[in-house]
Amino acid sequence: LDWHDSVLNERFRTLRDSRHRRNPQIIERLQSLGIDITYEEVRALAGSDSVGRPHIARALMDKQVVSSDKEAFDRFLADGKPAYVPRDLPSPAEAIQWIKAAGGLAVLAHPTWVKLADRSLIELLRDLKSAGLDGVEVYYSTHAARQTREYLSLAQQLGLLVTGGSDFHGLTKPDIDVGIGKGTLHIPTSLLTKMKAVVGRV
pLDDT tens-place values along the chain, 202 residues long = 888 999 999 999 999 899 889 999 999 999 999 999 999 999 999 888 889 999 999 999 999 999 998 999 999 999 999 999 998 889 999 999 999 999 999 999 989 888 887 789 999 999 999 999 999 999 988 788 899 999 999 999 999 999 988 766 665 566 666 666 666 677 788 888 888 888 876 5
Fold of 92-201: TIM Barrel (3.20.20)
Phi, psi of 154 (to 5 degrees): -65, -45
At residue 164's C-alpha, the angle toward residues 172 and 73, to 5°, is 35
Sequence ranges of the chain with CATH classification 1.10.150.650: 6-77
Confidence (pTM)? 0.73
Is the distance from CB of 9 to CB of 40 less than 8 angstroms?
no
Q: Is the dihedral of CA 66, 74, 94, 120 positive or negative?
A: positive
Determine the Cα–Cα distance for residues 32 and 30; give it in Å rounded to an integer: 5
Determine the Cα–Cα distance for residues 156 and 202; give it in Å rounded to an integer: 20
Fold of 6-77: DNA polymerase; domain 1 (1.10.150)
Is the distance from CB of 12 to CB of 3 less than 8 angstroms?
no
Sequence ranges of the chain with CATH classification 3.20.20.140: 92-201
Determine the Cα–Cα distance for residues 93 and 130; give it in Å rounded to an integer: 9
Q: What is the dihedral of CA 48, 54, 58, 64, to 10 degrees?
A: 160
